[in-house]
């Protein structure tokens, strides 16, 4: 049986963050995976925890 330090349930979202200005002066956006559960798990995983995300598509 596998064990994990943290398991989160939730939805996977796409965060659009500003990534510069276009030649026409408009903001350019970059798509990044996000959502609160995934962001927390990513931070915990980076700190050495065994984290998993439970989701349904």
What span, in angstroms and rounded, lies between the C-alpha atoms of 44 and 56?
21
Per-position DSSP letters for 30-54, written without gaps between them: EEEEE-HHHHHHHHHHHTT--EEEE
**Nearest CA-CA partner of 7 in 55, 56, 46:** 55
Write down the residue that tokens 């990513």 correspond to: 42
Q: What is the pLDDT of residues 43-57, one digit of tens each?
A: 999 999 999 998 776
What is the C-alpha to C-alpha distance for residues 34 and 39, in angstroms, rounded to an integer? 6
pLDDT for 57 equals 67
Residues listed for the chain: 57
Per-residue pLDDT of 2-18, as tens digits, reads 889 999 998 888 889 99
């Amino acid at each position: 049986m596998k064990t994990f330090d943290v398991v989160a349930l939730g939805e996977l979202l796409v965060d659009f963050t500003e990534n510069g200005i276009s030649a026409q002066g408009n903001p350019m956006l970059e798509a990044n995976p996000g959502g609160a559960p995934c962001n927390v798990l990513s931070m915990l995983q980076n700190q050495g925890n065994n984290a998993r995300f439970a989701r349904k598509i």
